[in-house]
């Protein structure tokens, strides 16, 4: 692992920027960290869910033998038993908790069973019989859009629409020397977090409800549980347990998992555990939206990018859930981080009878980045230009306007990432001419089957929730000092492995000038801070960070006031330096920050403060297809080196160079962890992973032996390159890193395959079967 850092000019900091040890590592290496499955409650019950076996059917009758169930001590619940609303709120309110009249996907929950043991709950299934009438189903989004007879969402099955429009694409194509047009397909990618979904609902009679669970967005779950149970929100408390990975898969799904558990707990007035098996998890919970993308690019022989036209069909599954937000990101990223005067992006989210798809690291952007970066590569190829040089001609720089009309006036590190990635990888030296198929076959005759190749992608990422997520763009924090000089803080965003606890602790340590070891984050609990929005969109560091900065600023004022009083100095003449409070003018050290905190406590000063942050406003006009889509942008260049066996089609990935402009690396170690992990997940998307459905719409690849994520043996060398082009709106200039590492890997990979063996793929993952078939097709075409 190779690391290059470039710090912006800053004074030596005490915590921020340092590779400090993760706060949560100790309990995790000893196996003590409590995940949902590890929690126990007295008299706890277990939940089993009876789910639809059909992709699309009417429910004629639900027959439950309540008498036998009662004798077994099992309680059943249907939609009729929901005390509040039978809706799980995400965005469009079309998602029921339990199906009533219609089921719209295989695995949709219909009946819950609560029993003292899971075995008993499973046994009880046979006492529930549901009569269905199957109706026609549709699984492809292009087919489902405006379907004449099959209705899943309103009349045309389109639950969301976004566009980007600029200039005149037809004119642009007319002025192009070469027009490249293709249809691309991307698969459903499963999160495969190693800890499966699980929630435990603990009721206090019918008065209030606490739900513990593996989740990213406790406030989402709070709202859903409150609405399902018809309870005031203030009576519903959600507490996040140690979460074993999420990647977006635990953004909206816990709404369902937690609410099913809560309904069960409501019915039996006892704690109810709902812990999904791996098969149930893969079969019934969200995945990355599969997509069909039609992409048309026009270029001139001199390398001008004349026009980009994109049509995106996002397959959203049976319910909209997060589709409007995912589609927004897809639409905004579809034309890439380039200057182009003629752009037309039309994006649709279409419902089908598959499992509802949802958030997954990248959130709509990987689906459009794969075709977008393939097209850029093919365009470069068509005019005989090096693909990195071609991109360099068009990438956005400071002061440029994006294709959707936003002028980005700061923090545009893309060019830096491109230069560094190219330099570190030895791009020009490694990039050999793409072979013809005749050359490949010649080499095979001589016994040479393996060919190396190198490919590139340049991407951007609109940070945080953007114009579409305005309403949720606020965050709270709470900072409390303890009598012994240590500090505890609470935020509303969650740790799921990404290192948030560590990074935020560093910020608090930095802001208050105390030792990092003295800072502690309490488990996330909706009763501690107000709704702080979801932990998504790489927003936690920035928004919780700023809220903490706000709180710490107030605390510093309080501390200075008490110190000024005691030491009879001017409150404005005090600063913190190296864990000490000192006078600015005389540089005389007064006392340690820890002691100052104790002083505040002794003097009965206010020892806890709340902080708040609201994201800067952005506005997008979908009618015009133009606007300020996001508040800030992160940038990345990926270079992937592969070795392809031209006879067998296997692709081994040798190296990935991942250069990221993150604004500021608050903890370089956790940052590298995100880059490495995210890059490997992107590699999975491009090379190994796809959910396979049966023709009846059921998930076939439903366990970790058939849905294949990379093991140690698939891991290439991943070289993290950190670039810091600070953003004035982020704490210490930071912008966030969560998603970018995954997004650009797939096309860099397929571009490398093209360079290695001269064939192009329009579908990922690039399995040996697909690469081989592409080679055979080329042999046929060129009649070699």
Partner 1 sequence: MYSNEILSPTSLKEALAIKDQYVNDIFPLAGGTDVLVMVRNKLGVWGESPVLLNLNNIPKLNFILETDSNIEIGPLVTHTQLLESPIIQKHVPALIKAISIIGSPQIRNLGTLTGNVCRASPAADTLATLYARDTQVQIQTVNNSKLVPIKEFITGPGQINIPENGLVTKIVIPKLEGYFGDYISLRQRYALSIVVVSIAVEALLSKDRSRMDDIRISLGAVAPTIVRATKTEILLKSNAFTKNLIEKAEKMIIEESRPITDIRSNKRYRKAMTGVLLGRILREILSH
Partner 2 sequence: MSQILHVTINGTSKEIAIEPDEILLDILRREGYKGVKRGCKEGTCGTCTILLNDKAVKSCILLAAQTENCSIITIEGIGTRDNPHPIQQAFVDEGVVQCGFCIPGMILSAKNLLDNNPSPTKDEVKMALDGNLCRCTGYSGQIKAVLAAAAVMRGEK
Note the residues at the interface with partner 2 (CB under 8 A). Answer: 1, 19, 21-22, 24-35, 37-38, 191-196, 242-247, 277-278, 496-499, 669-670, 672-673, 676-681, 703-705, 709-713, 715, 717-718
Q: Which two tokens stand for residue 551?
A: 């709180």
Under rule CB under 8 A, which residues in 620-679 are in contact with partner 1? 647-650
- Given the rule CB under 8 A, which of 20-28, 107-115, 426-434, 767-775 is the region that contacts partner 1? 767-775
Write down the least CB distance from residue 708 to partner 1, Å: 5
| Binding site partner of 773, from partner 2, partner 1, none, Cβ cut-off 5-8 A by kind | partner 1
| Binding site partner of 302, from partner 1, partner 2, none, Cβ cut-off 5-8 A by kind | none
| Binding site partner of 33, from partner 1, partner 2, none, Cβ cut-off 5-8 A by kind | partner 2
Looking at 319, 464, 635, 772, which residue binds partner 1 (CB under 8 A)? 772
Under rule CB under 8 A, which residues in 426-455 are in contact with partner 1? 447
Q: Which is nearer to partner 2, 31 or 447 (CB)?
A: 31
Residue labelled with tokens 């950190």:
722
| Binding site partner of 648, from partner 2, partner 1, none, Cβ cut-off 5-8 A by kind | partner 1
CA separation for the pair 274, 36 (Å, rounded): 9
Looking at 616, 706, 717, 782, which residue binds partner 1 (CB under 8 A)? 706
- Does 3 sit near partner 1 (CB under 8 A)? no
SS (H, E, C) 637-662: EEEEEEEEECCCCCEEEEEEEEEEEC
CA separation for the pair 169, 311 (Å, rounded): 13
Looking at 407, 571, 614, 700, which residue binds partner 1 (CB under 8 A)? 700
CA separation for the pair 147, 515 (Å, rounded): 62
Half-sphere exposure of 308 (CA within 13 A, CB side): 34
Write down the least CB distance from residue 773 to partner 1, Å: 7
- Does 148 sit near partner 1 (CB under 8 A)? no
**Beta pairing, strands 158-166 & 343-351:** antiparallel
Helix axes 365-382, 323-333, angle to 10 degrees: 20
| Binding site partner of 772, from partner 1, partner 2, none, Cβ cut-off 5-8 A by kind | partner 1
Q: Which is nearer to partner 1, 357 or 693 (CB)?
A: 693
Q: Alpha carbon of 281 to those of 133, 224, 345, 701: distances in Å?
A: 26, 20, 34, 12
One-character DSSP codes across 62-125:
EEE-HHHHHHHT-EEE-GGG-SS-S---SSSS---SS-SSEE-STT-EEEEEEESSHHHHHHGG
- Whether the CB-CB separation of 11 and 502 falls below 8 Å is answered with no
Phi, psi of 661 (to 5 degrees): -95, 110
How is residue 522 annotated by DSSP? P
Write down the least CB distance from residue 103 to partner 1, Å: 24
Q: Which two tokens stand for residue 72?
A: 């077994």
Site map 101..140 versus partner 1, x via CB under 8 A: ------------------x---------------------
List, in sequence order, every beta strand (DSSP E) within 565-675. Answer: 574-577, 580-583, 589-592, 608-614, 620-621, 626-627, 633-645, 651-661
Q: Which two tokens stand for residue 610?
A: 């709340």
CA separation for the pair 158, 177 (Å, rounded): 35
Write down the least CB distance from residue 772 to partner 1, Å: 6
| Binding site partner of 496, from partner 2, partner 1, none, Cβ cut-off 5-8 A by kind | partner 2
Over its C-alpha atoms, the chain yields an Rg (Å, rounded) of: 27
CA separation for the pair 22, 20 (Å, rounded): 6
How is residue 669 annotated by DSSP? H
- Given the rule CB under 8 A, which of 128-136, 247-255, 390-398, 709-717 is the region that contacts partner 1? 709-717
Write down the least CB distance from residue 681 to partner 2, Å: 7
- Does 712 sit near partner 1 (CB under 8 A)? yes
Q: Which is nearer to partner 2, 35 or 41 (CB)?
A: 35
| Binding site partner of 700, from partner 2, partner 1, none, Cβ cut-off 5-8 A by kind | partner 1
CA separation for the pair 406, 394 (Å, rounded): 16
Is the backbone peptide bond immediately before 438 cis, with ω within 30 degrees of 0? no
- Given the rule CB under 8 A, which of 53-61, 166-174, 429-437, 762-770 is the region that contacts partner 1? 762-770
> Measured on CA atoms in the order 91, 93, 97, 102, is the torsion positive or negative?
negative
- Whether the CB-CB separation of 408 and 398 falls below 8 Å is answered with yes
| Binding site partner of 473, from partner 2, partner 1, none, Cβ cut-off 5-8 A by kind | none
Write down the least CB distance from residue 689 to partner 2, Å: 11
Write down the least CB distance from residue 194 to partner 1, Å: 13
Looking at 5, 692, 777, 780, which residue binds partner 1 (CB under 8 A)? 692
**Beta pairing, strands 75-77 & 305-317:** unpaired
Write down the least CB distance from residue 210 to partner 2, Å: 21
Q: Which two tokens stand for residue 247?
A: 């990647």
Q: Which is nearer to partner 2, 104 or 719 (CB)?
A: 719
CA separation for the pair 176, 299 (Å, rounded): 5
| Binding site partner of 32, from partner 2, partner 1, none, Cβ cut-off 5-8 A by kind | partner 2
Write down the least CB distance from residue 27 to partner 1, Å: 24
- Given the rule CB under 8 A, which of 249-257, 533-541, 634-642, 765-773 is the region that contacts partner 1? 765-773
Write down the least CB distance from residue 565 to partner 2, Å: 41
Q: Which is nearer to partner 2, 148 or 705 (CB)?
A: 705
Residue labelled with tokens 């949720």:
472
Site map 392..431 versus partner 1, x via CB under 8 A: ----------------------------------------
CA separation for the pair 291, 184 (Å, rounded): 8
Half-sphere exposure of 782 (CA within 13 A, CB side): 14
- CA nearest to 656, candidates 534, 742, 726: 742
- Does 701 sit near partner 1 (CB under 8 A)? yes
| Binding site partner of 769, from partner 2, partner 1, none, Cβ cut-off 5-8 A by kind | partner 1
| Binding site partner of 688, from partner 2, partner 1, none, Cβ cut-off 5-8 A by kind | partner 1
Write down the least CB distance from residue 21 to partner 2, Å: 6
Q: Which is nearer to partner 2, 18 or 145 (CB)?
A: 18
> By the criterion CB under 8 A, which residues form the site for partner 1?
119, 447, 647-650, 688, 692, 700-701, 704-706, 708, 710-714, 767-769, 772-773, 776
């Amino acid at each position: 692992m190779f690391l290059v850092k470039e710090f912006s000019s800053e004074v030596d900091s005490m915590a921020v920027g340092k590779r400090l040890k993760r706060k949560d590592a100790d309990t995790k290496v000893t196996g003590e960290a409590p995940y949902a499955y590890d929690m126990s409650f007295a008299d706890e019950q277990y939940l089993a869910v009876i789910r639809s076996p059909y992709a699309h059917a009417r429910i004629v009758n639900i027959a439950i033998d309540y008498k036998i169930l009662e004798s077994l001590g099992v309680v059943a619940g249907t939609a009729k038993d929901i005390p509040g609303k039978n809706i799980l709120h995400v965005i469009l309110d079309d998602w029921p908790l339990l199906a009533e009249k219609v089921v719209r996907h295989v695995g949709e929950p219909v009946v819950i069973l609560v029993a003292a043991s899971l075995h008993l709950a499973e046994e009880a299934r046979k006492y529930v019989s549901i009569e269905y009438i199957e109706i026609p189903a549709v699984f492809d989004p292009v087919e489902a859009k405006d379907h004449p007879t099959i209705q899943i969402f309103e009349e045309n099955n389109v639950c969301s629409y976004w566009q980007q429009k600029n200039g005149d694409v037809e004119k642009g194509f007319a002025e192009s020397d070469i027009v490249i047009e293709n249809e691309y397909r991307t698969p459903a990618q499963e999160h495969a977090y190693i800890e499966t979904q699980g929630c435990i609902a603990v009721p206090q009679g019918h008065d209030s409800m606490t739900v513990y669970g593996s989740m990213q967005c406790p406030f989402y779950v709070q709202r859903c549980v409150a609405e399902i149970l018809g309870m005031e929100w203030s009576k519903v408390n959600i507490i996040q347990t140690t979460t074993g990975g999420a990647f977006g898969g635990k953004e909206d799904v816990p709404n369902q998992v937690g609410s099913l558990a809560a309904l069960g707990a409501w019915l039996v007035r006892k704690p109810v555990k709902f812990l999904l098996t791996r098969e149930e998890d893969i079969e019934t919970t969200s995945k990355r939206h599969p997509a069909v993308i039609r992409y048309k690019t026009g270029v001139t022989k001199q390398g001008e990018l004349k026009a980009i036209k994109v049509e995106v069909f996002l397959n959203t599954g049976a319910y909209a859930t997060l589709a409007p937000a995912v589609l927004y990101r897809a639409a905004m990223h579809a034309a890439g981080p380039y200057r182009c005067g003629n752009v037309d992006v039309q994006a649709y989210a279409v419902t089908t009878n598959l499992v509802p798809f949802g958030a997954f690291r990248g959130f709509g952007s990987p689906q459009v980045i794969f075709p977008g970066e393939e097209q850029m590569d093919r365009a470069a190829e068509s005019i005989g230009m090096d693909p990195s040089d071609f991109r360099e001609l068009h990438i956005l720089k400071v002061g440029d306007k994006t294709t959707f009309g936003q002028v980005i006036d700061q923090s545009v590190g893309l060019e830096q990432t491109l230069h560094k990635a190219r330099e570190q990888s030895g791009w020009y030296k490694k990039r050999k001419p793409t072979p013809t198929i005749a050359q490949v076959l010649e080499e095979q005759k001589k016994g040479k089957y393996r060919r190396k190749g190198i490919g590139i992608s340049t991407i951007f990422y609109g940070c945080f929730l953007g114009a579409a997520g305005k309403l949720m763009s606020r965050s709270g924090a709470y900072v409390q000092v303890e009598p012994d000089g240590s500090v505890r803080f609470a935020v509303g965003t969650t740790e799921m492995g990404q290192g948030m606890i560590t990074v935020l602790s560093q910020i608090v340590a930095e802001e208050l000038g105390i030792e990092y070891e003295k800072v502690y984050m309490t488990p996330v609990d909706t009763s501690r801070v107000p709704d702080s929005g979801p932990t998504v969109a790489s927003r936690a560091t920035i928004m919780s960070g700023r809220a903490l900065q706000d709180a710490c600023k107030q605390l510093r004022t309080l501390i200075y006031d008490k110190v000024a009083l005691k030491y009879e100095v001017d409150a404005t003449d005090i600063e913190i330096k190296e864990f000490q409070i000192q006078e600015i003018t005389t540089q005389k050290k007064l006392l340690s920050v820890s002691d100052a905190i104790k002083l505040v406590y002794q003097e009965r000063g206010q020892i806890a403060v709340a902080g708040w942050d609201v994201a800067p406003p952005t506005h997008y006009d979908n009618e015009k297809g133009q606007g300020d889509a996001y508040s800030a942008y992160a940038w990345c260049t990926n270079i992937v080196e592969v070795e392809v066996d031209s006879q067998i089609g296997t692709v081994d990935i040798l190296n990935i160079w991942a250069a990221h402009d993150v604004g500021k690396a608050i903890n370089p170690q956790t940052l590298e962890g995100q880059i490495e992990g995210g890059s490997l997940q992107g590699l999975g998307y491009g090379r190994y992973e796809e959910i396979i459905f049966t023709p009846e719409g059921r998930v076939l690849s439903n366990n970790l032996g058939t849905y294949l994520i990379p093991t140690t043996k698939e891991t290439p060398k991943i070289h993290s390159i950190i670039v810091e082009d600070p953003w004035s709106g982020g704490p210490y200039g930071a912008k966030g890193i969560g998603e970018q590492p995954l997004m650009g890997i797939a096309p860099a990979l397929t571009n490398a395959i093209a360079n290695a063996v001269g064939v192009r793929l329009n579908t990922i993952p690039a399995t040996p079967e697909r690469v081989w078939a592409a080679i055979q097709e080329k042999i046929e075409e060129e009649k070699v």
